[in-house]
Amino acid sequence: AQKITQTQPGMFVQEKEAVTLDCTYDTSDQSYGLFWYKQPSSGEMIFLIYQGSYDEQNATEGRYSLNFQKARKSANLVISASQLGDSAMYFCAMREGRAGGTSYGKLTFGQGTILTVHP
Amino acid sequence: EAQVTQNPRYLITVTGKKLTVTCSQNMNHEYMSWYRQDPGLGLRQIYYSMNVEVTDKGDVPEGYKVSRKEKRNFPLILESPSPNQTSLYFCASRFAGTPGLSGANVLTFGAGSRLTVL
C-alpha cells in the first residue's frame, strides 16, 4: 500500500482564493511527522510546514495551514489567499518512528500535486 | 550561507560509464540522504546516512552506491549507469537527533542534479 497518497495530480485556483491540497498517509507507528514541500518550476525543494503526530494543534505558517485529521490519516495543506507565485508542485511527505529508531531515517513522499493559480 | 551543494547540476552520459554525483553540506548535519524524482512517482529515497560510516538503503537502492567517510560529504555513485537511471537527483541533509522545539528536523535540499543516461 502507498504510504503517502496525493490523489490530485493537478489543481486550479483563482488568485486570492483558498485551496486545499489533499494528502492521506498510512502508518502503524504512533510517532511520525508529516511535511509539505513546494517545488516551483525552477526545481528547488522548499519546506512549507510540519505536523508531528503528537501535536494537538494544527500547524500554521503564514498563509499555510495543515488540516491534520489523525483518525482519518489525512494531512491536507490549506493555502489561503492564493498568489500567482504559489503555482508549483506540492509534495506531502512522512517520516515514521522516533529519533534513534531504525525507520527514522526514511522519508516517504507522495506523487505530488501541481497547483496552478489563475489571475 | 547554510546550504547543500550538489555537482554536477546537469550531466549527460552513456550506459556503463561510471559516474559520481557529489553532495556537500556546511551545516554540520548528521543525516544525509539521496532521492530521485521521476514524473508521477514523486521523490523516492535511494540511500541515507545517519552519521559518518553509517549508511542504509532507502526504497530504490539498486544500481547505486554511497559512502560517508566525512560528515559533510555524501557522494552518490553509479557504477554502471543505465537509461532507467535517467532522473532528477536530490541530496538533502538535516540534524539526526531528537527534534527540538520545532519538532521537525527539516530537510535542507540541494538544487538537484539532472542526469541523462543514453
Matching residue, cell 510546514: A49
User: What is the 8-class DSSP label of residue B73?
Assistant: B
Report pLDDT digits (tens) over A34-77: 999 999 999 999 999 999 898 889 999 999 999 999 999 999 99
Position A26 scores a pLDDT of 94
pLDDT band at residue A102 under the 50/70/90 scheme: low
Residues in a beta bridge with B22 = B7
Mean pLDDT of B14-27: 96
Q: Mark yes or no for CB contact A105/B48 under 8 Å.
A: yes
Question: Chains A and B: how many Cβ contacts under 8 Å?
Answer: 67
Contact A106 B112 (CB under 8 A): no
- Which chain B residue has its CA at the smallest distance from A33's CA? B104
Kindly state the cell numbers that stand for B30: 548528521
Q: Which residues contact A102 (CB under 8 A, 6 or more apart)?
A: none
pLDDT tens figures, B44-67: 999 999 889 999 999 999 999 999
Specify the pLDDT at position B62. Answer: 97
Is pLDDT above 90 for B85?
Answer: yes
Give the separation between CA A2 and CA A110, rounded to whole angstroms.
8
Question: Confidence class of residue A95 from pLDDT cuts 50, 70 and 90?
Answer: confident
Kindly state the average pLDDT of the residues B90-110.
74
- pLDDT, position B98: 54
Mean pLDDT score of chain A, rounded to an integer?
Answer: 91
Contact state of A106 with B111 under an 8 Å Cβ cutoff: no
Distance CA B103, CA A6 (A): 24
The B residues from 46 to 105 touching A (CB cutoff 8 Å) are 48-50, 56, 58-59, 88, 90, 92, 96-99, 102-105
pLDDT of amino acid B104: 57
Residue A107: the pLDDT is 83
pLDDT at A104 over 70: no
pLDDT band at B95 (very low <50, low <70, confident <90, very high): confident
Q: Which pLDDT value is given to residue B101?
A: 42
**CB < 8 Å to B42, chain A:** 4, 6, 91, 109-112
CA atoms within 13 A on the CB side of B109: 22
> Quick check: B42 and A43 CB within 8 A?
no
pLDDT(B109) > 80: yes
The number of residues in chain B equals 118
Alpha carbon B2 to chain centroid, angstroms:
17
DSSP state of A14: E
Residues of B in contact with A110 (CB under 8 A): 42
Residue A59, burial from CB neighbour count under 10 angstroms (0-12, 13-18, 19+):
buried
Euclidean distance between CA atoms A68 and A58, whole angstroms: 6
